[in-house]
């Protein structure tokens, strides 16, 4: 069965590479966007020596962690935003009459390989930033470095899926989802200290985005949380991601039952 | 109600069982600037039907009658509001994946094929999706290739196929995993005459083999005449007829027609019970009679006795007129 999903991914890659020039341009432009994002952080620090009480070193680490986790999630499940198209045009019918699960089938069918360019860039960026920040490596910190992008990716992926589910109820729903996905990435790149109370509570600890970059970066660089959060908070990211997936799958299940199809 | 009577000789196994099936949609309508009014509409309103293995059933009705909605509930795409559905003994929505392996679906408007890949690749992929044993897959594909003449475009990307070629591909795609039930939603829509005929011939061939149960929705009534012994007509979400085509004609009093061409115009004084003049054309040289249970021979003999009869043709009642009457009623 899992072989079938793999074949679908292969087929999608073959389809995309049929249009070779367009594929190349896509990969290149995706990669470029990561460089621009890194440049933005540097520009901010040219204006101000600290952001939210942190120096360039710490902010670069949280930013690189958040962007890498996001790009990974975007590669794996970002194409779920096409769900609204499937719902609007009734294309989900063809997916539903096959003996495969709907969510993995959609992800495999629409897998966008061009996004791999972005993941490559952001992983290089993360490596460079870590060399520059040069934390004192301990086993716990190495484990944190491995765990954080995985949990962060899972959390962003759950946000992508939950956001896409809105399409089952409201057809023109792309912007609502974007606020949480792309908006969430921007939020996670900067210290939680810069956000006003309510925004911080909702996005940082409600959605859990403070655990994607902020707290792990504090842990890696050996900083105490100026907001008074305990050290072990950074270790909660897998639990938060798991909970987010629970909500995402519940939404998905309800949404599929609510699917109305269209026309004949 | 009637079809089962003719099939008692064969062991009948029910493949599709539907009772009290209902699907409601909420329709929102703007009233005034902001206020919205929502209203519940039943697209399918208490449909009941039972289809045995090997039957080919035409499922017809005007636009918006609930045909597609019923089909989508039978294939696990839509969740019924209430009622009972079993296809291959399975409840479609909870057992969707299991059921998908046992049915084949062709939606005239929606493709199962990979747009940018050659047809051959789509078939190969479907083999993996349905986990079909290689030998079976190849045997079925070989058969479809021969009967539907796919060879000349097996290596063409699907986006470059003509509609007729694509439909042949879609039908093949639906058959490769050896389904027990085939759902065809307007398979001939938009096809030219030749493509329609070859598709019908293929479907008729499948029908005569008797192991596949087929449910066909169409607006082309010739499809029904060629393929379906049984006809289910749905209107406003309810079944209004279920039986043979002949039963439909009998019930709605369809009449055969006799058209006579005369050498020269004259008044035909035919006084027979059950015979009525329906039309007089060509300055009185062509007369059309409608017959209600009267053998045509008797009428023709009567006219021929007076001489001057050039030509005669007998026309069977068309399915179009009886269906048109049904929809209007």
If you average pLDDT over residues B143-153, what whole number do you get?
Answer: 92
CB contact under 8 A, B68 and A260: no
At B299, the pLDDT band (50, 70, 90 cuts) reads confident
Contact A45, A58 (CB under 8 A): no
CB contact under 8 A, B96 and A261: no
Three-class SS state of B305: helix
Contact B70, B151 (CB under 8 A): no
Q: Between A48 and B154, name the one with better pLDDT.
A: B154
Average pLDDT, chain A: 89
Q: Between A52 and A244, name the one with better pLDDT.
A: A244
C-alpha A90, offset from chain centre: 27
Number of A–B residue contacts, CB under 8 Å: 82
Q: What is the C-alpha to C-alpha distance for residues A83 and A106, in angstroms, rounded to an integer?
A: 8
Q: What is the C-alpha to C-alpha distance for residues B154 and B166, in angstroms, rounded to an integer?
A: 11
pLDDT tens digits, one per residue of A106-149? 999 989 888 888 898 899 999 999 999 988 999 999 999 999 99
pLDDT tens digits, one per residue of B85-109? 999 999 999 999 999 999 999 986 7
pLDDT tens digits, one per residue of B7-27? 444 557 899 999 999 999 888
Q: What is the share, in percent, of chain B residues with pLDDT greater than 70?
A: 96
Nearest CA in chain B to A169: B26
Token output for B287: 């007369």
Residue in B102, B116, B118, B186 to test binding to A, most A beta-carbons within 10 Å: B116
Calculate the CA dihedral of residues B146, B140, B160, B129 and round it to 10 degrees: 180
Q: What is the C-alpha to C-alpha distance for residues B88 and B98, in angstroms, rounded to an integer?
A: 10
pLDDT tens digits, one per residue of B115-146? 889 999 999 999 999 999 999 999 999 999 99
If you average pLDDT over residues A10-16, what whole number do you get?
Answer: 86
Residues of chain B contacting residue A90, judged by C-beta atoms under 8 Å apart: 110
If you average pLDDT over residues A10-23, what whole number do you get?
Answer: 80
Give the N- to C-terminal CA distance of chain B in Å, as an integer.
21
Which of A1, A8, A97 comes nearest B100 by C-beta?
Answer: A97
The reported pLDDT for the residue numbered A28 is 75
If you average pLDDT over residues B158-167, what whole number do you get?
Answer: 92
Residues of chain A contacting residue B98, judged by C-beta atoms under 8 Å apart: 99
Which of A1, A94, A257 comes nearest B131 by C-beta?
Answer: A1
Q: Show the 3-state SS of B149-194.
A: CCHHHCCCEHHHCCHHHHHHHHHHHHHCCCCCEEEEECCCCCCCHH
If you average pLDDT over residues A57-79, what whole number do you get?
Answer: 94
Lowest mean pLDDT among A22-26, A129-133, B193-197: A22-26
Residue in A96, A103, A168, A261 to test binding to B, most B beta-carbons within 10 Å: A96
The reported pLDDT for the residue numbered B328 is 66
Token output for B211: 């192991």
Residue in A13, A97, A253, A256 to test binding to B, most B beta-carbons within 10 Å: A97
* Closest CA–CA distance from residue B217 to any residue of chain A (Å): 10
Q: Is A263 on the interface with B (CB under 8 A)?
A: yes
- Considering A84-93, B177-186, B200-209, the range whose residues carry the highest mean pLDDT is B177-186
CB contact under 8 A, B96 and A8: no
The reported pLDDT for the residue numbered A197 is 87
CB contact under 8 A, B129 and A18: no
Residues of chain A contacting residue B111, judged by C-beta atoms under 8 Å apart: 94
CB contact under 8 A, A261 and B77: yes
Average pLDDT, chain B: 87
The reported pLDDT for the residue numbered B51 is 96
Instruction: State ipTM.
Output: 0.82
Residue in B26, B77, B119 to test binding to A, most A beta-carbons within 10 Å: B77
Contact B23, B73 (CB under 8 A): yes
CB contact under 8 A, A93 and B107: yes
Calculate the CA dihedral of residues B150, B156, B158, B161 and round it to 10 degrees: -70
The reported pLDDT for the residue numbered B238 is 93
Element (H, E) at B244: strand B238-244
Cβ burial of B173 (10 Å; 0-12, 13-18, 19+) is: buried
Contact A62, A146 (CB under 8 A): no
Residues of chain A contacting residue B131, judged by C-beta atoms under 8 Å apart: 1, 4, 99
Q: Between B29 and B44, name the one with better pLDDT.
A: B44
Residue ranges per structural domain of chain A: 2-258
CB contact under 8 A, A99 and B130: yes
If you average pLDDT over residues A92-102, what whole number do you get?
Answer: 93
Which of B67, B79, B129 comes nearest A98 by C-beta?
Answer: B129
pLDDT tens digits, one per residue of B44-78? 999 999 999 999 999 988 888 889 999 999 999 99
Give the A window 222-261 contacts with B, CB below 8 Å: 257, 259-261
CB contact under 8 A, B112 and A94: yes
Q: Between B49 and A40, name the one with better pLDDT.
A: B49
**Residue A263: pLDDT above 60?**
no
The reported pLDDT for the residue numbered A113 is 83
The reported pLDDT for the residue numbered B4 is 46
Three-class SS state of B139: helix
At A175, the pLDDT band (50, 70, 90 cuts) reads confident
Nearest CA in chain A to B111: A94
Q: Is A209 on the interface with B (CB under 8 A)?
A: no
Lowest mean pLDDT among A157-166, A182-191, B297-306: B297-306
Residues of chain A contacting residue B96, judged by C-beta atoms under 8 Å apart: 96
Task: Let me know how long chain B is.
Answer: 329
pLDDT tens digits, one per residue of A218-238? 999 998 899 888 989 999 999
Phi first, then psi, for residue B211 (nearest 5°) are: -100, -15
Contact B240, B267 (CB under 8 A): no
Which letter does DSSP use for residue B228 in this model? Answer: -
Closest CA to A245 of A235, A256, A237: A237
Task: Report pTM.
Answer: 0.83
The reported pLDDT for the residue numbered B272 is 81
Q: What is the C-alpha to C-alpha distance for residues B106 and B278, in angstroms, rounded to an integer?
A: 42
Beta strands in chain A (DSSP E): none
The reported pLDDT for the residue numbered B136 is 95
CB contact under 8 A, A7 and B96: no
Nearest CA in chain A to B68: A264
- For every residue of A176-242, DSSP letters joined together read HHHHHHHHHHHHHHS-GGGS-HHHIIIIIIII-GGGTTHHHHHHHHTPPPTT---GGGGGGHHHHHH
CB contact under 8 A, A11 and B114: yes
Tell me the β-bridge partners of B38.
B28
At B247, the pLDDT band (50, 70, 90 cuts) reads confident
């Amino acid at each position: 069965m899992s072989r079938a999903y793999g074949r679908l991914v292969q087929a999608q890659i073959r389809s995309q590479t049929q249009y070779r020039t367009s594929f190349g341009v896509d990969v290149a432009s995706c990669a470029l966007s990561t460089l621009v994002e890194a440049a933005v952080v540097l520009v901010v620090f040219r204006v101000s020596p600290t952001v939210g009480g942190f120096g360039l070193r710490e902010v670069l680490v949280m930013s690189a962690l958040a962007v890498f986790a996001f790009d990974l999630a975007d590669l794996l499940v970002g194409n779920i935003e096409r769900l609204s198209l499937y719902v609007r045009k009734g294309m989900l019918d063809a997916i539903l009459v096959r003996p495969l699960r709907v969510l993995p089938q959609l992800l495999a069918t629409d897998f966008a390989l061009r996004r791999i360019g972005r993941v490559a860039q952001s992983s290089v960026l993360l490596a460079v930033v870590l060399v520059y920040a040069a934390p004192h490596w301990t086993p716990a910190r190495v484990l944190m470095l491995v765990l954080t992008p995985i949990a962060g990716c899972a959390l962003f992926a759950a946000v992508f899926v939950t956001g896409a589910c809105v399409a089952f109820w409201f057809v023109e729903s792309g912007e609502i989802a974007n606020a949480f996905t792309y908006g969430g990435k921007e939020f996670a790149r900067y210290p939680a200290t810069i956000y006003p109370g309510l925004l911080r509570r909702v996005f940082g600890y409600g959605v859990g985005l403070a655990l994607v970059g902020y707290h792990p970066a504090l842990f890696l660089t050996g900083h105490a949380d100026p907001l008074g959060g305990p050290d072990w908070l950074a270790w909660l990211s897998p639990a938060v991601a798991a909970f987010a997936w629970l909500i995402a799958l519940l939404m998905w299940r309800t949404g599929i039952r609510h699917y109305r199809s269209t026309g004949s | 109600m009637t079809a089962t009577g003719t099939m008692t000789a064969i062991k009948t196994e029910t493949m599709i069982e539907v009772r009290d099936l209902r699907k409601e949609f909420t329709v929102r309508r703007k009233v005034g600037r902001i206020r919205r009014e929502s209203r519940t509409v039943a697209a399918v309103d208490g449909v009941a039907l039972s289809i045995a293995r090997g039957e080919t059933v035409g499922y017809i009705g005007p636009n918006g009658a609930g045909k597609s909605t019923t089909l989508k509930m039978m294939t696990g795409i839509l969740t019924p509001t209430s009622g009972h559905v079993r296809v291959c003994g399975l409840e479609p929505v909870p057992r969707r994946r299991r059921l998908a392996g046992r049915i084949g679906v062709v939606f005239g408007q929606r493709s199962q094929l990979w747009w940018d890949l050659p047809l051959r690749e789509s078939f190969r992929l479907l083999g993996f999706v349905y986990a079909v044993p290689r030998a079976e897959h190849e045997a079925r594909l070989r058969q479809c290739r021969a009967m539907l003449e796919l060879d000349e475009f097996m290596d063409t990307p699907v986006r470059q196929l003509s509609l007729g070629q694509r439909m042949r591909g879609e039908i093949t795609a639906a058959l490769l995993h050896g389904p027990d039930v085939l759902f065809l939603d307007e398979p001939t829509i938009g096809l030219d005459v030749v493509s329609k005929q070859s598709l019908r011939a293929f479907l008729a061939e499948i029908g005569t083999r008797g192991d596949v149960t087929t449910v066909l929705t169409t607006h082309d009534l010739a499809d029904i005449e060629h393929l379906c012994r049984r006809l289910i007509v749905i209107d406003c979400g309810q079944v209004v007829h279920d039986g043979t085509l002949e039963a439909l004609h009998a019930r709605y009093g369809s009449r055969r027609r006799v058209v006579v061409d005369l050498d020269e115009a004259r008044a035909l004084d035919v006084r027979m019970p059950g015979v009525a003049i329906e039309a007089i054309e060509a300055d009185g040289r062509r007369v059309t009679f409608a017959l209600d249970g009267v053998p045509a021979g008797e009428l023709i003999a009567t006219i021929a006795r007076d001489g001057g009869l050039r030509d005669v043709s007998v026309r069977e009642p068309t399915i179009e007129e009886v269906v048109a009457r049904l929809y209007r009623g």
